[in-house]
């Protein structure tokens, strides 16, 4: 049994965001982090490994620096890492990304009792689309928004979040689960893990490695093969600032309330 | 003939997936129909609602016409009662392949966000997540840009076509991007609950709705998951989206969480509203996730939005900056929330809020 986990390195959009003059994001100027939901997915896989001794393979598509993140995941306890990286893959939208990741997962090999994990969504794109699209390309059942996992042999029972409750769903392997951050608290890298992580296998899949897969076609990958394109991008609207009240005492508050009253707001 | 998503000329009409849970249509569907109606009018085509379920009341189906649908495709089947990815994807893709709509809108609920990408991948077309604005008409899109961007619209060349222009926040809300899907159909987008406004219900429209029963081809063997249980939260969820007034709390209540929430509740009750919050409070476990306003929470457009101890991070602003009147109380005069506030008070929320409650009570009593 294997757990294959798709992990994305994302710019830390909660920190300082650098925007280039042309209105696109200056990724090079920003700190990167491992996407939160994906860390939960890695932790979920590692817990299955703790219980069953299964193998955990982490996969990331991105530019070469993503290797650093993959080493960290190996230090957390993953067994193997795959970096999917090629110029041909750049500029992919979620559809094209899922084609490429699905081809990479096929290359790693999916057995009958394997589980593919994704995060629910990546904080940069925020689409939550790549997981379900990979599942479709691999022809396996999916469960998204997973907040609890129970594996018994080939039967996987999960709690799937709804806005106002949850569903309990049973699915057979091979299947794909997308995990929410609340699923668990990810472990830290161990000292031993850090020592070992450079001995563990990290393979790079480039265009040559994957090109024979029918999913990999210039018309379905990269910027040119992506069904969606950016038409325009611009800075979000800022509403004009309103009125700052002077002071914060009773008189100030009463003045505000009388303005609200006069304008029939209250 | 095999389905070919790149034969764009063969596709016509605007569709809205009208999600039901326990036989009741979700209000997001009405918001999307209202928006879809505008697109259908601009294109001069039909607007169709798509309902999957089991024994849905005819009144509910007719009501979709009251929000703009000309026609409702009703897929009635025992296996469609409770959502499963497999069953819903199959039935919807079969229908799309048969009828070929050019635009397909889906609510970005926890279910829509599961269904949308699976369908788009199967149909070989693009999907744009969490759109906040949609246009087909270039002139209308330009008007939109004029009020919401710094683009020099009059000196920019725009290609004249009726492709769907789907605008959404990108990179955690720091940028807006307009996405197109020019080569494939249907053009699909998801839209978060609360983002689009529901238009008034029209009785005449409801009476005219055509309901077409779809011949559903579905078998147990098509479904590879088993839903063991659907459980609703015991607690009643707060209706942020429908609220007229929202009083939200942020990390500024950390000194006395209970006291802070109590003040917000009291102010909300005086103003006739409900309590919202920033994500910081939800993450800290101080308040339920259903209260969260913002990019990953709910989008609200209340008449009055009060922000108590909220810094105004861009992801929070994304969910509330279109409120009619925004009142912010924050200790820090340079908090970004003041950039969008109609009225700002720089002060301690524990001191200011009780005074606000008292003054509003007095003002109301005087009327
Ligand atoms: C991908 C992504 C999605 C996100 N989605 C959302 C979302 O949907 N909604 C959301 O809200 N956030 C979201 N966030 C988080 C967001 O970036 C901020 O971290 C969050 O909104 C901050 O919450 P806050 O304003 O309550 O806390 P803080 O930023 O810590 O602000 C607290 C404020 O309280 C003030 N304060 C402190 N004490 C007092 C007092 N006694 N009286 C008055 N003022 C006081 C402080 O001056 C400060 O301005 C998201 C982040 C990411 C990366
Ligand atoms: N470039 C990538 N490399 C590896 N995994 C990815 C990549 N992009 C997306 N994913 C996976 O798909 C999930 C959803 O991403 P998104 O659809 O972009 O919100 C993420 O949480 C990851 O698990």
* Per-residue pLDDT tens over the stretch A144-176: 999 999 999 999 999 999 988 999 999 999 999
> How many angstroms is it from B330 CA to the middle of ligand 1?
11
d(CA A98, CA B81): 30
What are residue B355's phi and psi, to 5 degrees? -65, -40
CB distance B118–A136 less than 8 Å? yes
Average pLDDT, stretch B44-68?
Answer: 97
What's the maximum distance between 2 C-alpha atoms anywhere in chain B?
73
Average pLDDT, stretch B128-143?
Answer: 95
Q: Is A140 helix (H, G, I), strand (E, B) or coil?
A: coil
User: In the predicted model, what is the mean pLDDT of chain A?
Assistant: 92
Whether ipTM exceeds 0.95:
no
Banded model confidence at residue B216, pLDDT cuts 50, 70, 90? very high
Query: B181 to chain A: which residues are within 8 Å by CB?
Result: 227-229
Residue A192, burial from CB neighbour count under 10 angstroms (0-12, 13-18, 19+): exposed
Average pLDDT, stretch B57-63?
Answer: 96
Query: Would you state the pLDDT for residue A237?
Result: 63
B148 in contact with A, Cβ within 8 Å: yes
A229 has pLDDT over 80 = yes
Residue bearing the CA closest to ligand 1, atom 23 = B280
Average pLDDT, stretch A235-260?
Answer: 87
Q: What is the 3-state secondary structure (H, E, C) of chain B?
A: CCCCCCCHHHCCCEEEECCEECCEECHHHHHHHHHHHHHHHHHCCCEEEEEEECCCCHHHHHHHHHCCCCEEEEEECHHHCCCCHHHHHHHHHHHHHHHCCCEEEEECCCCHHHHHHHHHHHHCCCEECCCCEEECCHHHHHHHHHHHCCCCHHHCCCCCCCCCEEEEEECCCCEEEEEECCCCCCEEEEECCCCCCCCCCCHHHHHHCEEEECCCCCCHHHCCEEEEEEEECCCCCCCCCCCCEEEEECHHHHHHHHHHHHHHHHHHHHHCCEEEECHHHHHCCCCCHHHEECCCCECCCCCEEEEECCCCCHHHHCCCCCCCEEEEEECCCCCCHHHHCCEEEECCHHHHHHHHHHHHHHHHHHC
Pocket test for ligand 2, best of A122, A183, A222, A226 (most atoms within 8 A of CB): A122
Query: Would you state the pLDDT for residue B60?
Result: 97
Which of A166, A238, A261 has the CB atom closest to B231's CB atom? A166
pTM of the predicted protein model: 0.90
Non-local (6+) Cβ contacts of B156 within 8 A are none
Give Cα B88 to chain centroid, integer Å. 20
CB distance B129–A127 less than 8 Å? yes
Residue A183 DSSP class: G
Q: Is A148 helix (H, G, I), strand (E, B) or coil?
A: strand
Is the CB of A100 inside a 6 Å radius of any atom of ligand 2? no
Query: Would you state the pLDDT for residue A86?
Result: 96
d(CA A215, CA A138): 10
Banded model confidence at residue B169, pLDDT cuts 50, 70, 90? confident
A23 has pLDDT over 70 = no
How near does any CA of chain A get to the CA of B243, in Å? 15
Query: Would you state the pLDDT for residue B296?
Result: 85
pLDDT digits (tens, 9 = 90+) for B184-200: 999 999 999 888 989 99
Q: Is A141 helix (H, G, I), strand (E, B) or coil?
A: coil
CA A216 → CA A95, A96, A107, A129, B315, distances in Å?
12, 9, 12, 19, 36
A242 has pLDDT over 90 = no
Query: Would you state the pLDDT for residue A240?
Result: 66
Query: Would you state the pLDDT for residue B256?
Result: 97
B96 has pLDDT over 60 = yes
pLDDT digits (tens, 9 = 90+) for B319-334: 999 899 999 999 999 9
Which of B89, B355, B360 has the CB atom closest to A250's CB atom? B355
pLDDT digits (tens, 9 = 90+) for B141-159: 999 999 888 888 999 999 8
Ligand nearest to the Cα of B350, by number? 1
Instruction: List, edge to edge, every strand of the sheet that includes A115-119.
Output: A202-205, A80-84, A55-61, A2-6, A115-119, A175-179, A142-152, A155-162, A165-172, B225-232
d(CA A194, CA A235): 41
Query: Would you state the pLDDT for residue A26?
Result: 73
Average pLDDT, stretch B92-107?
Answer: 98
Q: Tell me if A13 sits within 8 A of B172, measured CB to CB.
A: yes
Specify the pairing of strand B245-249 against strand A175-179: unpaired
Residue B67's closest CA among B108, B25, B129, B20? B25
User: In the predicted model, what is the mean pLDDT of chain B?
Assistant: 95
Query: B282 to chain A: which residues are within 8 Å by CB?
Result: none
Token pair belonging to B103: 């635009």
Banded model confidence at residue B3, pLDDT cuts 50, 70, 90? confident
Instruction: Check the CA dihedral B150-B134-A142-B84 and report its sign.
Output: positive
Residue A175's closest CA among A110, A106, A87? A110
Q: Tell me if B73 sits within 8 A of B51, measured CB to CB.
A: yes
Average pLDDT, stretch B230-234?
Answer: 87
10 Å Cβ neighbour count for A224?
Answer: 13
Average pLDDT, stretch A38-51?
Answer: 97
Average pLDDT, stretch B29-49?
Answer: 97
Query: Would you state the pLDDT for residue A12?
Result: 83
B174 has pLDDT over 80 = no
Note every long-range contact of B198-203, with CB atoms under 8 Å and residues 24 or more positions apart, other chains counting.
Answer: B198/B27, B198/B30, B198/B31, B198/B34, B198/B67, B199/B34, B199/B37, B199/B67, B199/B68, B201/B63, B201/B66, B201/B67, B202/B65, B202/B66, B202/B67, B202/B68, B203/B66
pLDDT digits (tens, 9 = 90+) for A196-224: 999 999 999 999 999 999 999 988 899 99
Residues having CB within 6 Å of any atom of ligand 1: A 13-14, 123; B 172, 250-252, 278-280, 292-297, 309-311, 313, 315-316, 319, 329-332, 335, 348-350
Specify the pairing of strand B47-53 against strand B14-17: parallel
Q: Please, which residues 166-225 of chain B have a Cβ atom closer than 8 Å to chain A?
A: 169-184, 224-225
A59 has pLDDT over 70 = yes
Query: Would you state the pLDDT for residue A260?
Result: 94
Q: Which helix (H) or strand (E) holds A58?
A: strand A55-61
Is the CB of A116 inside a 6 Å radius of any atom of ligand 2? no
> How many angstroms is it from B304 CA to the middle of ligand 2?
37
A24 has pLDDT over 70 = no
What are residue B74's phi and psi, to 5 degrees? -110, 115
CA A94 → CA B81, B113, B278, distances in Å?
30, 13, 29
CA A88 → CA A63, A85, A213, distances in Å?
11, 8, 14
């Amino acid at each position: 049994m294997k757990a294959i986990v798709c992990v994305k390195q994302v710019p830390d959009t909660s920190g300082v965001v650098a925007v280039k003059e042309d209105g696109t994001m200056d990724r090079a100027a920003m700190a990167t982090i491992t996407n939160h939901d994906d860390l939960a997915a890695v932790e979920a896989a590692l817990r299955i490994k703790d219980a069953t001794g299964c193998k955990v393979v982490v996969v990331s598509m991105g530019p070469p620096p993503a290797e650093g993140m993959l080493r960290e995941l190996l230090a957390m306890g993953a067994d193997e890492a795959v970096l999917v990286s090629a110029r041909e893959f750049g500029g992919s939208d979620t559809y094209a990304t899922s084609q490429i990741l699905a081809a990479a997962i096929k290359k790693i090999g999916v057995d009958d009792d394997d589980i593919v994990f994704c995060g629910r969504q990546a904080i940069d794109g925020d689409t939550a689309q790549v997981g379900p699209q990979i599942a479709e390309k691999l022809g396996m059942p999916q469960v998204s928004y997973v907040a609890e996992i129970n594996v018994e042999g080939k039967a996987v029972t999960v709690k799937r979040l709804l806005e106002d409750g949850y569903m309990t769903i049973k699915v057979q392997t091979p299947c794909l689960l997308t995990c929410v951050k609340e699923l668990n608290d990810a472990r830290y890298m161990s000292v031993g893990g850090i020592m070992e992580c450079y001995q563990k296998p990290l393979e790079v899949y480039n265009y040559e490695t994957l090109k024979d897969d029918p999913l990999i076609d210039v018309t379905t990958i990269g910027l040119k093969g992506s069904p969606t394109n950016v038409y325009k991008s611009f800075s979000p609207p800022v509403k004009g600032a309103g009125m700052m009240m002077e002071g914060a005492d009773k008189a100030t508050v009463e003045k505000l309330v009388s303005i609200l009253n006069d304008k029939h707001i209250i | 003939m095999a389905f070919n998503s790149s034969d764009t000329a063969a596709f016509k009409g605007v569709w809205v997936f009208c999600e039901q849970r326990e036989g009741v249509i979700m209000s997001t569907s009405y918001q999307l129909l209202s928006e879809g109606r505008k697109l259908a009018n601009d294109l001069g085509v039909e607007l169709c609602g798509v309902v999957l379920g089991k024994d849905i009341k005819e009144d509910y189906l007719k009501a979709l016409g009251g929000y703009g649908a000309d026609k409702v495709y009703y897929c009635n089947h025992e296996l469609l009662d409770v959502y499963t990815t497999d069953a819903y994807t199959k039935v919807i893709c079969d229908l799309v392949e048969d009828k070929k709509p050019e635009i397909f809108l889906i609510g970005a609920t926890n279910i829509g966000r599961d269904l949308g990408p699976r369908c788009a991948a199967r149909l070989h077309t693009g999907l744009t997540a969490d759109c906040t604005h949609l246009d087909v008409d270039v002139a209308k899109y330009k008007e939109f840009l004029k009020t919401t961007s710094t683009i020099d619209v009059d000196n920019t060349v725009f290609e004249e076509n009726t492709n769907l222009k789907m605008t959404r926040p990108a990179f955690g809300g720091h940028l807006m991007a307009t996405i197109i899907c020019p080569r494939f159909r249907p053009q699909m987008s998801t839209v978060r609950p609360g983002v689009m406004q529901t238009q008034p219900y029209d009785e005449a429209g409801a009476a005219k709705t055509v309901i077409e029963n779809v011949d559903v081809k579905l078998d147990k063997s098509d479904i590879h998951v088993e839903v063991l249980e659907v459980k609703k939260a015991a607690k009643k969820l707060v209706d942020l989206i429908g609220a007229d007034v929202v009083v939200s709390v942020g990390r500024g209540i950390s000194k006395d969480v209970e006291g802070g929430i109590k003040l917000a509740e009291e102010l909300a009750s005086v103003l006739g509203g409900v309590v919202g919050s920033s994500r910081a409070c939800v993450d800290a476990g101080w308040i339920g996730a259903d209260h969260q306003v913002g990019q990953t929470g709910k989008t609200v457009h209340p008449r009055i939005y009060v922000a108590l101890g909220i810094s105004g991070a861009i992801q929070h602003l994304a969910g509330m900056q279109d409120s009619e009147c925004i009142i912010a109380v924050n200790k820090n005069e340079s908090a970004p929330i003041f950039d969008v506030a109609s009225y700002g008070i720089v002060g301690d929320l524990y001191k200011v809020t009780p005074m606000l409650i008292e003054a509003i009570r007095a003002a109301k009593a005087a009327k």
